């Protein structure tokens, strides 16, 4: 459940490592995407709101004919590890 805030669908591609996570978290939390009550754009850190992070491997799919291929996605195990680390970093930043 999420009140005011943002839903983020995330997918990791082959070659992704833990090294990229801090920059991803910083960009996501500091980017001015949300409209505040005043009407100006604010970051997630500036607003009272929530962030719901959903792993979504299908974002990495490419259509080939009438089927989807996922050759560029990271393995399920590695993706889960990166997702968990990403969520932990987000929780640390907003705490």
Helix axis angle for 76-94 and 21-30, nearest 10°, is: 50
- pLDDT computed for residue 26 by the predictor: 95
pLDDT beyond 70 at 1: no
- Whether 72 contacts 12, CB under 8 Å: no
Task: Find the range with the poorest average confidence among 1-5, 68-72, 83-87.
Answer: 1-5
pLDDT beyond 90 at 94: no
Reply yes or no on domain 5-94 having CATH 3.50.80.10.
yes
Handedness of CA 67, 72, 76, 79 (dihedral sign): negative
For 11, phi and psi rounded to 5 degrees? Answer: -140, 140
Q: What is the pLDDT of residues 4-56, one digit of tens each?
A: 778 899 999 999 999 999 999 999 999 998 777 788 888 888 877 788 999 99
- Whether 39 contacts 52, CB under 8 Å: no
**Cα 67 from chain centre:** 25
- DSSP helix/strand/coil, 40: coil
- pLDDT computed for residue 2 by the predictor: 67
Alpha helices in 1-47 (DSSP H): 21-30
pTM, to two decimals: 0.82
């Amino acid at each position: 459940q999420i009140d005011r805030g943002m839903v983020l669908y995330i997918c990791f591609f082959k070659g992704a490592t833990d090294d990229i996570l801090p920059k991803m978290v910083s960009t996501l939390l500091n980017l001015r995407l949300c409209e505040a009550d005043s009407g100006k754009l604010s970051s997630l850190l500036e607003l009272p709101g929530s962030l719901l992070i959903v792993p979504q491997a299908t974002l990495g799919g490419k259509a080939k004919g009438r089927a989807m291929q996922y050759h560029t996605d990271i393995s399920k195990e590695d993706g889960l590890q990166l997702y968990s680390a990403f969520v932990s970093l987000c929780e640390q930043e907003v705490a």
